[in-house]
Amino acid sequence: MNEPERPSFGRRLQQAIAEKGQLCVGIDPHPGMLTSWGLSDDAAGLREFGSRVIAACAGRVAVVKPQVAFFEAYGPAGMQVLAELTAEARAAGLLIIADAKRGDIGSTMAAYAQAWLNPQSEFAADALTVSPFLGFGSLQPAVETAQRFGAGLFVLALTSNPEGQQVQLAGAGGQTVAGDIVAQTAAANQAHDPDAPLGSIGLVVGATTAHLAQSHAIDLEFSRPPLLAPGYGAQGASAEQLRRSFGAAWDQVLVNSSRGILQRGPHVAELTAAIEESVADLGLNTGNNP
């Protein structure tokens, strides 16, 4: 049975941002965080952790981003919890980015895309993070799957880890690897729903590395890809730095905060306060918060 046609991810994301602002909250239940919250280091602890984060986010932010690795670490039970939390977040009206950073070729990439982007899948997210470092063309099965199901991708481009620059800023003739990834992402958006207010194929650009786009003549605005920006708060980037670094592309940015908000737990009220403070700090309060 085919899923009813739905608007593209870019269009749905633009609407969610207009209503709730640009903050994206990570769901990262690493063992140290579970312990600090007084939760058990098992599937039950994962479930309680995720449910509290979702309760705090519901009605306050547009997007949540579960880090898949922290669920995979607990085996089948952990992945079952991820499936349950995915359904819970969707029921709460949140868009979901599965942070899995999948990247492969041919039928394997197609299988990853089916697992994470097909609405009939237990793990179905609205968007998936992917790695283009086997060549951007290797992502084509995921691009096609995303377009078919009205889902999205976030392609690693200028990541915040220092090692990333060894690859991402390498190149010849004035063109960097990151620049080529950004250009091919723009082309993918131009080829599909070019009039959308945001593209459905986005980029991961670290909050602490976004300034490198300007210094390396990388155009983040063309085709208006959404820009997922980890690194705000606990990882060192301030709201002022974010706005300055992204410049005219600022309204395309989803600002991800994970540890900075999660370390304020364990109670929903404390998480809610942290979310509201982050929204205010970023200057993103839309007046739609409950």
**Each residue's pLDDT tens digit, 62-78:** 999 999 999 999 999 99
- Residue 140 makes CB contacts below 8 A (sequence gap 6+) with 109
180 burial (CB, 10 Å; 0-12 / 13-18 / 19+) is: middle
Using the predicted structure, report yes or no on whether residue 281 has a pLDDT greater than 60. yes
Which is the catalytic residue, given 80, 87, 90, 101?
101
Using the predicted structure, report yes or no on whether residue 201 has a pLDDT greater than 60. yes
At residue 234, the pLDDT reads 63
Query: Mean pLDDT score of the chain, rounded to an integer?
Result: 93
Secondary structure class of 267 (helix, strand, coil): coil
User: Which of the following CATH numbers is that of domain 9-281: 3.20.20.70, 3.30.70.20, 3.40.190.10, 2.60.120.20?
Assistant: 3.20.20.70
Instruction: Extract the tokens encoding 187.
Output: 């082309």
Using the predicted structure, report yes or no on whether residue 288 has a pLDDT greater than 80. no
At residue 198, the pLDDT reads 97
At residue 282, the pLDDT reads 85
Q: Report which secondary-structure segment, H or E, holds 171.
A: strand 171-172
What is the rounded CA–CA span in Å between residue 271 and residue 264?
6
What is the rounded CA–CA span in Å between residue 129 and residue 146?
12
| Cβ-based neighbour number of residue 222 at 10 Å | 15
The closest of 50, 52, 64, 53 to 20, measured between CA atoms, is 64
At residue 127, the pLDDT reads 98
Secondary structure class of 97 (helix, strand, coil): strand
What is the rounded CA–CA span in Å between residue 253 and residue 203?
10
Using the predicted structure, report yes or no on whether residue 108 has a pLDDT greater than 70. yes
Using the predicted structure, report yes or no on whether residue 237 has a pLDDT greater than 90. no
What is the rounded CA–CA span in Å between residue 241 and residue 221?
18
At residue 7, the pLDDT reads 93
Q: What is the pLDDT of residues 124-133, one digit of tens each?
A: 999 999 999 9
Instruction: Extract the tokens encoding 145.
Output: 């799957």
65 is known as an active-site residue: no
At residue 290, the pLDDT reads 34
